[in-house]
């Protein structure tokens, strides 16, 4: 099998992670980077072509990618870019606004069905692997529910999607959002209560925001805590900090999470399932998962499949570099 | 969608678990039970037909199953039964002799390709869900390895496959096998060492055996510790106990396990993935997973697919009772 040619669309934290992940996957090659600001990217990158994102037909012709990994934000970038790019090439993205996924799927699917390409949407670790673990736990323990928790350690976990959303607000120069799991909620699940939670019962959100000089902090705070989907459903705290403080104290991208489900088998025998991950670099972990899905997208396309897919629609073997014989021998 | 008609082949612990699981899955109905000893089963079961297992064509015609869940042992039952039954109906089984899976797959696949039915093989929690978690972890963290550990608690975990293997030995009236994880091995994996283990580095095996009166205990011990695949690669201890002791002290079916992988993302940022399950009843947990795969087998067959499949070949959505729209809305 010849190398999978990947274009990275968007050169932020996830985009940088995808470039690193491609280097760590021997069956892939970075065909090029496309960006809304190619000149900015070229200051850092000189060994692969960097082209303007908007002219999709042109960069697809020039870079001949098998798949484009879309690394833009979920709030403004992906809803506009994905259905535009999948007219010309297979795509993978990490659209992470959970409540909007059905509409997003429908839009991307319509475009990909028409063009004949494959678009894997909303993948990463959540939505993505955690979605899959929730569905599997619910399937294997009927009647139980599976729950996702994030930021189990004291520091919490940095949410990129929510940090990105904060940075779209006028007057915000930079920002970080840390998610904290509510420990009592985890224990309720482990006890087999299958509790009915609102999102706000499970997590709190802590924002560290650098405001522009003269910006209206009250207005920024109000915009944050009322942002639908992202912050409105949660107990959200907003802390204004200086740029120096943000960089010194909130510079890494650590995150961790847990899917937990407790139910019964037979006539009431307790059963529990937990999936946990811990990342020093959340964007790199997301990138690694995106790249495995890029491999799957190319394989689906090679089978003549088209349209939108989520991780729920993809056989696990498609993510692996190993052959069927190797998987049966080594990993079953 | 009309109810999925399931035949349970084999009325042991897993078979009983499958019958209970079918009751807990609203889209399924128990069409009947087939057994090598139907008269024995009829003493316990009167509300569904119980027929002789061997006459496959007859019970398929009579019970009209969409799928048969094969609950026999991996050592003697399944290698003979699966390719015989999949000539007439879709099958699901939990063949668990890891080192023989490639040959087993080939044999079952040849038969199912010819007959046009679907056979999902070697599923349950390991092989099965744990296999999938290993492959996913290895795909998402290239270069890292994923490891499965069992029996993390003090009591260890009861292995049904290995207990079954013990009971095939001449002179053994009954037996239980408890698996113990080697804690130092787990810590080595968590530290990111990606160690090269032999099976015996990771687990020890503890057998509790009731010998027939006058049986040669030395010969039994020797047969156990030298049994290829099952015991030969492990530090195995054999304890002879009375039937009363076995029933009093070793009567439940608890088991638990962990898939653990530690690697890096990007240029060396630590990353860890762990999947853990804990069952009060291991056979019921296996049964619950088998039943979800029975649903998947019927869906694959409805698409015109045929041949042998493992969990690695099946999209996770196929295990769920939920529609695509529900999955996108609720569980992504």
Q: Stretch B111-131: mean pLDDT, rounded?
A: 97
**Min CA distance, A165 vs chain B (Å)?**
20
- Asked whether the predicted pLDDT for residue B42 surpasses 80, the reply is yes
Residue B199: pLDDT over 60: yes
What is the residue-wise DSSP string for A263-298? EEETTTEEEEEEEEEEESBHHHHHHHHHHHHHHHHH
User: Dihedral of the CA atoms A325, A292, A305, B306 (nearest 10)?
Assistant: 30
The residues, ordered by sequence, that sit 6+ positions from B190 with a Cβ below 8 Å of its Cβ are B260, B262, B272
The percentage of chain B sitting over the pLDDT mark of 70, rounded to a whole number, equals 100
B267 compared with B39, residue with greater pLDDT:
B39
Does B331 sit within 8 Å of A131, measured CB to CB?
yes
Triad B135, B139, B143: Cα angle to 5°: 105
Residues A118, A124, A126: CA angle, nearest 5 degrees: 120
Angle at A40 between CA A36 and CA A41, to 5 degrees: 80
Task: Measure B53 CA to nearest chain A CA, in Å.
Answer: 24
Of A193, A157, A177, A122, the residue nearest A276 (C-alpha): A157
Q: Which residues of A touch B26 (CB under 8 A)?
A: 142
Query: Which residue of chain A has the CA closest to B328?
Result: A102
Name the residue of chain B whose CA is nearest to A263's CA: B279
Tell me which DSSP letter residue B228 carries.
T
**Cross-chain residue pair B274–A279, CB shorter than 8 Å:** no
Is A272's CB within 8 Å of B274's CB?
no
Mean pLDDT of B151-161: 86
Contact A310 B321 (CB under 8 A): no
Q: Is pLDDT at A197 greater than 80 in this prediction?
A: yes
pTM, to two decimals: 0.91
pLDDT in tens, B237-290: 999 999 999 999 888 889 999 999 999 999 899 999 999 999 999 999 999 999
Q: For an interface test with A, which of B146, B266, B276, B304 has the most A Cβ atoms less than 10 Å from its Cβ?
A: B266
Cβ distance of B270 and A285 shorter than 8 Å: no
**pLDDT score for A97:** 87
Note the pLDDT of residue A252: 86
Which helix (H) or strand (E) segment is B33 a member of? Answer: strand B28-35
Q: Distance between CA atoms of B250 and B176, rounded to whole angstroms?
A: 7
Percent of chain A whose pLDDT exceeds 70: 100
- What pLDDT digit, counting tens, does each position of A217-270 carry? 999 999 999 999 899 999 999 999 999 999 999 888 899 999 999 999 998 999
CB contact under 8 A, A280 and B267: no
For residues B59 and A82, give the distance between their C-alpha atoms in angstroms, rounded to a whole number.
Answer: 52
Which residue has 């399937």 as its token pair? A139
Q: pLDDT tens digit string along A7-32?
A: 999 999 999 999 999 999 999 999 99
Average pLDDT value for residue range A171-186: 96
- Alpha-carbon gap, residue B39 to B43, rounded angstroms: 7
The torsion angles phi and psi of B124, rounded to 5 degrees, stand at: 140, -150
Residue A98 contacts B, CB cutoff 8 Å: yes
Selecting from B102, B131, B139 the residue whose C-beta is nearest the C-beta of A319 gives: B139
C-alpha pair distances (Å), A332 with each of A289, B14, B139, B146: 21, 20, 14, 12
Query: Vertex A123, ends B331 and A179: CA angle to 5°?
Result: 75
- What radius of gyration do chain A's Cα atoms show? 20
Q: How far is CA B88 from CA B38, B61, B232, B303, in A?
A: 20, 9, 37, 17
- Residue of B139, B186, B257, B300 for testing the chain A interface, max A β-carbons within 10 Å: B139
The size of the A-B interface in CB pairs under 8 A is 213
Query: Which residues of chain A from 287 to 306 reach within 8 Å of chain B, CB to CB?
Result: 287-289, 292, 295
Contact state of B285 with A265 under an 8 Å Cβ cutoff: yes
Q: Is B192 exposed, middle or buried (0-12, 13-18, 19+ CB in 10 A)?
A: middle
Chain A: nearest CA to B171, how far in angstroms?
A: 32
**Inter-residue contact A223 to A253 (CB < 8 Å):** no
Count of CB atoms situated within 10 Å of the CB of B53: 23
- SS3 state at A300: helix
Could A321 and B275 be called an inter-chain contact, meaning their C-beta atoms sit closer than 8 Å? no
Residue B192 touches partner A, C-beta closer than 8 Å: no
Question: What pLDDT, on a 0 to 100 scale, did the predictor assign at position A1?
Answer: 57
**Which residues in chain B are closer than 8 Å to A139, comparing Cβ atoms?**
292, 295, 316, 319-321
Give Cα separations from A312 to A130, A297, B28, B75, B194 (angstroms). Answer: 11, 13, 22, 33, 29
Q: How far is A273 from chain B (nearest CA, A)?
A: 4
Tens digits of residue pLDDT in A106-122: 999 999 999 999 999 99
Peptide bond into B127 cis (omega under 30): yes
DSSP per-residue codes, B156-221: -EE-HHHHHHHHTSTTEEEEEEEEEE-HHHHHHHHTT------HHHHEEEEEEEEEPTT--HHHHH
As a whole number of angstroms, the distance between CA B139 and CA B312 comes to 12
Band (B183; pLDDT cuts 50, 70, 90)? very high
Task: Report whether pLDDT(B131) > 60.
Answer: yes
Confidence of residue B155 (pLDDT cuts 50, 70, 90): confident
pLDDT at residue B214 is higher than 70 = yes
Picking from B266, B276, B312, the nearest residue to A316 by CB comes out as: B312
A175 pairs with which residues across the strands? A209
For residue A109, the chain B residues in CB contact (below 8 A) are none
Task: Mutation target for B interface from A19, A24, A124, A140: give the one with most B CBs within 10 A.
Answer: A140
In this predicted structure, what is the pLDDT of residue A2?
81
Res. B1: pLDDT tops 80? no
Task: Tell me the residues of chain A between 145 and 174 that have a Cβ less than 8 Å away from chain B.
Answer: none
B139 touching chain A per CB within 8 A: yes
Q: Give mean pLDDT, residues B132-155.
A: 92
Q: What tokens appear for B91 in the block?
A: 């099958």
């Amino acid at each position: 099998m010849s190398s999978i040619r990947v274009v990275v669309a968007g050169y932020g934290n996830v985009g940088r992670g995808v470039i690193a992940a491609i280097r760590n996957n021997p069956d892939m090659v970075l065909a090029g980077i496309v960006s809304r600001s190619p000149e900015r990217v070229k200051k850092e990158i000189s060994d692969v072509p960097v082209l303007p994102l908007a002219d999709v037909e042109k960069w697809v012709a020039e870079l001949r990618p098998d798949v484009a990994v879309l690394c833009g934000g979920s709030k403004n970038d992906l809803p506009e870019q994905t259905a535009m790019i999948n007219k010309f090439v297979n795509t993978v993205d990490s659209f992470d606004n959970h409540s909007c996924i059905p509409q997003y799927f429908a839009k991307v699917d319509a475009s990909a069905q028409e063009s004949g390409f494959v678009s894997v949407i909303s993948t990463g670790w959540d939505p993505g692997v955690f979605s899959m673990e929730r569905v599997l736990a619910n399937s294997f323990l009927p009647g139980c529910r599976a729950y996702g928790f994030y930021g189990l350690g004291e520091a919490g976990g940095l949410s990129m999607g929510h940090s990105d959303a904060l940075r779209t607000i006028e007057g915000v120069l930079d920002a970080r959002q840390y998610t904290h799991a509510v420990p009592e909620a985890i224990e309720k699940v482990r006890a087999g209560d299958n509790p009915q939670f609102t999102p706000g019962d499970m997590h709190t959100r802590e924002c560290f925001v650098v405001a522009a000089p003269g910006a209206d902090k009250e207005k920024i705070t109000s915009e944050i805590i009322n942002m639908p989907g992202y912050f409105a459903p949660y107990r959200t705290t907003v802390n204004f900090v200086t740029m120096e403080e943000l960089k010194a104290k909130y510079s890494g991208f650590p995150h961790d999470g847990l899917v937990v489900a407790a139910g019964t088998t037979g006539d009431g025998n307790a059963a529990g399932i937990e999936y946990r991950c811990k990342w020093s670099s959340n964007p790199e972990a997301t990138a690694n998962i995106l790249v495995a899905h890029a491999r799957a997208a190319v394989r689906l396309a090679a089978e003549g499949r088209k349209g939108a897919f989520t991780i729920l629609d993809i056989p696990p073997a498609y993510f692996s570099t190993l052959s069927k014989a190797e998987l049966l021998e080594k990993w079953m």
